[in-house]
Amino acid sequence: EAGVAQSPRYKIIEKRQSVAFWCNPISGHATLYWYQQILGQGPKLLIQFQNNGVVDDSQLPKDRFSAERLKGVDSTLKIQPAKLEDSAVYLCASAHTYRSYGYTFGSGTRLTVV
Amino acid sequence: KQEVTQIPAALSVPEGENLVLNCSFTDSAIYNLQWFRQDPGKGLTSLLLIQSSQREQTSGRLNASLDKSSGRSTLYIAASQPGDSATYLCATYNTDKLIFGTGTRLQVFP
């Protein structure tokens, strides 16, 4: 089966600009996660979707970050405006069902804010 | 709030050594624990998933143990090879969310 697809692979932007990342989960996977991984740290959960509804966005900086999952399939994560500290790898993961422990991760998008 | 810690942060060893990577967590009420491998510029590859009712899991040269009562897990790598060089992350499942440690960066040199 195809894996979790993410694009772009790399992005360099200036601070205060906006950026968007895209994720296409494995077909049929109802649960989708966005993680932020700052260099030298483990991934941190930003938001969790179940189909097209948000289950947990408690760690999403909502003043600048937003995410949506239209039609319960693809998802986009947006940052507006970006700050230097947003430089990180943004990982998308999907799982078949709620409380299914078989996560599959995408390769991530590496964001550099200058 | 769950906190996951991994020791050591970095490790450099010659080929052939047996290795132990440590993971500790503060909240023992976990569902499962999972070990991942991350290569530079790549996503995460699942290595071993230990369910809460299990004590260990094995896959090839890898063996992971889990002691929920003490909040510890170890990943044992036998006969290390240069291809094992990567960052190893442990993560706990609290409900259905993965909480990651900071990782151990492993380098195995020939």
Q: Are strands A65-68 and A10-13 parallel, antiparallel or unpaired?
A: unpaired
Predicted confidence at residue A72, as pLDDT, reads 82
pLDDT at A93: 93
Please check the confidence at residue B93 and state whether its pLDDT lies above 90.
Answer: no
pLDDT over 70 (residue A97): no
Nearest residue to A42 (alpha-carbon basis) of B96, B1, B89: B89
pLDDT for residue B88: 97
Assess whether pLDDT exceeds 80 at residue B75. yes
pLDDT tens for A21-60 read 999 999 989 899 999 999 988 999 999 999 889 999 999 9
At A3, which amino acid appears? G
Report the residue of B87, B98, B99 to disrupt the A interface, i.e. the one with the largest count of A CBs within 10 Å.
B98
pLDDT at residue A100 tops 90: no
What is the DSSP pairing of strand B86-94 with strand B97-100? antiparallel
Helices (H) and strands (E) in chain B, counts: 0, 11
Chain A contacts in chain B segment 36-65 (CB below 8 A)? 41-46, 49
Model confidence over A63-92: pLDDT tens digits?
A: 999 999 988 899 999 999 999 999 999 999
Measured from the Cβ of residue A112, the count of other Cβ atoms closer than 10 Å reads 13
Query: Does any CB of chain A come closer than 8 Å to the CB of residue B96?
Result: yes
What pLDDT sits at residue A98?
A: 57
Closest CA to B25 of B76, B68, B65, B57: B68
Q: Considering chain A, what percentage of its residues have pLDDT values greater than 70?
A: 95
Dump pLDDT digits (tens) for B14-72.
999 999 999 999 988 888 899 999 998 788 898 999 988 889 999 999 999 999 999 99
Q: Is A105–B44 a contact, with Cβ atoms under 8 angstroms apart?
A: yes
CB contact under 8 A, A42 and B102: yes
Q: Do A43 and A36 meet the contact criterion of CB atoms below 8 Å apart?
A: yes
| CA–CA distances in Å: residue A26 to residues A7, A32, A91 | 15, 9, 14
For residues A73 and A27, give the distance between their C-alpha atoms in angstroms, rounded to a whole number: 8
pLDDT at A12: 98
